[in-house]
Amino acid sequence: MYAIVDIETTGGYAGNHKITEIAIYHHDGLRITDRFHTLVNPGRNIPAYITGLTGITQEMVWNAPSFPEIAHLVYEQLKDKVFVAHNAHFDYSFLRQEFEAVGISWRAKKLCTVRLSRRIVPGLRSYSLGRLAESLGIEITDRHRAGGDAAATARIFDCLLKRDKDNYILRCLKRNSGETILPPNLPKETFDALPAKPGVYYFHNARGTVIYVGKAANIKKRIAGHFTGDAREWNRSRIRDEIHNITYQLTGNELIALILESQEIRRLWPKYNLAQKYRVEEWGIYSYEDRNGYIRFTVNTVARGTRPLIRFSSKGDAWGYLWDKVRTFNLCPKLSGLQLSKGLCFEFQTGCCKGACMGAETSHEYNTRCLEAMRSFTAGPGSLAIIGKGRHAREQSLVLVEQGKYLGFGFLDRKAPIDDLNFVRSAINPGVETPVVQHLINSYIANPRGEQVVIFDF
């Protein structure tokens, strides 16, 4: 049994909007057997542009029931039925949220008539509800109202059932088909061809324009995670409806993926990559002089307008780097902000700290080593390559840094020599150093992530 659904809402995503109308048609696989329809009081104002689109006014819903008042009735209409809608994710996400708000756990197999039509009725210029109905000779009355659109969707679904000579609809309902999670306009063959490898992926709209760039340790798994609807940001936008194609570049490892993603976002400025268009969280090491004249260090987020000594992508990497400097230059972990407990620092008790924390060492002596440590921050790590896994077993990747400045990344045969700096320079694709790339490099130098990444000094 199928439940064919259409809803009208106060806006475009479930996280911040409510249902204003719902219509449900039951179909037993042969014919329509029952129907249900009601306006719903959303408990908030209906925006003027929504009223202009649907014709549903505030006055029309004043005396309508709220969703909590009809939740159990709607649940009975949907229980044990396959959920069918035109762009099913939209309607399904709203109903899921409304049910969860009243404590009803509801899950259903779902079918999207956009996806079904693309396979069963191929070659149409558009699969919007209006254009698809017109192509199938179906007239829609009350367009953009739940009752009219649900009735048209029910008739479209009836046509699809009759035309489905290859049992495509039944195949879609199998647990591992993957069809039920995909965006309406993305061919399943495109998704099936995605690799389970590290890399950067690109979502394209109908014109081929890149609308989102992402990175992943496992491209296919990451993209499937987007499409399940669990990520809130994906429910807050219309990106699912715009995805028509996916392309990718393999990178072999996470570091190259992170660098390439950052560079591609700056090159393409995709409309849905909001995070790196604005600020990304960075951590930095700062210095200051206390009232006793001792130089102190602290690890903190990089605030706008501040200039840390060095930047990192995580607090853990910044702490790890600072601990290394404390031990290299015999600094006090307490004065470096690495020991927050009261009393003498642990390193003084073991003999590694010379007692600046208790005044046993003068500020002049202590600050001399602090200044040496600070110069090592700004001098950079010298010329080095971060070596990682390549895109296949015979290849290795490298990220080249000279005198603390990122130059680019590339790929080499595993047997190629990496002790010749000139040769390594010729193997990279030049890149642009940005704050994002800089703190990625610093983080990997501070924490090479085990045996996968090895640092070589030249």
What confidence category does residue 193 fall into, taking pLDDT thresholds of 50, 70 and 90? very high
Look at residue 274 in the predicted model and tell me its pLDDT.
74
pLDDT recorded at residue 7 = 96
Among 48-62, 162-176, 222-236, 310-324, where is mean pLDDT lowest? 222-236
Reduce the DSSP state of residue 241 to 3 states and report it.
Answer: helix
Domains 2-181 and 188-277 share a fold: no
- The strand pairing partners of 400, in sequence order, are 385, 408
**Per-residue pLDDT at 79:** 93
N- to C-terminal Cα distance for the chain? 69
Quote the percentage of the chain above a pLDDT of 70. Answer: 90
Per domain, the residue ranges of the chain are 2-181, 188-277, 283-379, 384-457
- Please give the sequence-ordered ranges of beta strands (E in DSSP) within 191-293, or none if there are none: 199-204, 210-216, 245-250, 283-289
Q: Mean pLDDT lowest for which of 269-278, 354-363, 417-426? A: 269-278
User: Alpha-carbon torsion 336, 339, 341, 343, what sign?
Assistant: negative
pLDDT at 303: 82
The per-residue b/e assignment along 350-378, b for 16 or more CB within 10 angstroms, e otherwise, is: eeebbbbbeeebebeebbebbeebbebbe
Domain boundaries 2-181, CATH class: alpha beta
β-sheet bridge partners, residue 288: 296
pLDDT at 449: 62
Residue 3 has pLDDT above 60, yes or no: yes
Give the DSSP per-residue string, 103-150: T------EEEHHHHHHHHSTT-S--SHHHHHHHTT---SSTTSHHHHH
pTM for the predicted model, two decimal places? 0.67
Cβ burial 320-340 (10 Å sphere, 16+ → b, else e): ebbeebbeebebbbbbbbbbe
In three-state secondary structure terms, 59 is helix
Fold (topology level) of 188-277: GIY-YIG endonuclease (3.40.1440)
Any idea what DSSP says for residue 55? -
User: What digits encode the pLDDT tens for the residues 334-348?
Assistant: 899 888 766 667 766
Confidence bin at 229 (pLDDT 50/70/90): low
Residue 190 is predicted with a pLDDT of: 93
| pLDDT for residue 394 | 92
Burial label for 16, CB within 10 Å (0-12, 13-18, 19+), is exposed
Q: What pLDDT does residue 184 have?
A: 87
Q: What is the pLDDT of residue 456?
A: 52
Pairing assessment for the beta strands 428-430 and 32-39 based on DSSP bridges:
unpaired
426 close to 405: Cβ distance less than 8 angstroms: no
Q: Among candidates 344, 441, 335, which has minimal Cα distance to 386?
A: 441
Query: Using an 8 Å Cβ cutoff, are 24 and 3 in contact?
Result: yes
**Residue of 161, 187, 189, 166 whose CA lies nearest to 82:** 161
Please provide residue 187's backbone torsions phi and psi, each rounded to the nearest 5 degrees. -60, 140
Residue 458's pLDDT is what? 47
Confidence check: pLDDT of 218 > 70 = yes
pLDDT tens-digit series, residues 72-106:
999 999 999 999 999 898 899 899 999 999 999 99
Q: What is the pLDDT of residues 250-281, one digit of tens each?
A: 999 998 999 999 999 989 999 888 765 445 67
Residue 401's pLDDT is: 83
Torsion, Cα of 95, 27, 143, 228 (10° steps): 40
- The number of C-alpha atoms within 13 Å of 363 and in the hemisphere containing its C-beta is 9
**Does residue 442 carry a pLDDT above 80?**
no
- Grouping H, G, I as helix, E, B as strand and the rest as coil, residue 236 is coil
Place of tokens 């009601």: 38
Q: Which of 247, 249, 241 is nearest to 272 (CA)?
A: 241
Question: What is the number of residues in the chain?
Answer: 458
Q: What is the pLDDT of residues 371-403, one digit of tens each?
A: 999 888 765 556 778 888 899 989 999 888 877
Q: Give the per-residue pLDDT at 280.
A: 60
Q: Determine the Cα–Cα distance for residues 149 and 137; give it in Å rounded to an integer.
A: 15
Question: In the predicted model, what is the mean pLDDT of the chain?
Answer: 86
Q: What is the pLDDT of residues 131-184, one digit of tens each?
A: 999 999 998 888 889 999 999 999 999 999 999 988 889 888 876 666 777 888
For residue 451, name the pLDDT band (cuts at 50, 70, 90).
Answer: very low
Distances from the Cα of 1 to the Cαs of 5, 133, 158, 221, in angstroms? 13, 23, 13, 31
- Looking up tokens 């499937």 gives 224
Place of tokens 């063959």: 189
Residue 309 has pLDDT above 50, yes or no: yes
Which of these ranges, 35-49, 132-146, 224-238, 273-287, has the smallest mean pLDDT? 224-238
Of the ranges 167-181, 220-234, 262-276, 408-422, which one carries the lowest mean pLDDT score?
Answer: 220-234
Res. 286: pLDDT tops 90 = yes
Across 409-433, average pLDDT: 84
Residue 158 exposure: Cα atoms within 13 Å on the Cβ side: 18
Is the confidence at residue 307, as pLDDT, over 80?
yes
Q: Give the integer Cα–Cα distance in Å for 127 and 184.
A: 9
> Is 410 strand, coil or helix?
strand
In this structure, the number of other CB atoms found within 10 A of the CB of residue 51 comes to 16
Residue 172, pLDDT score:
86
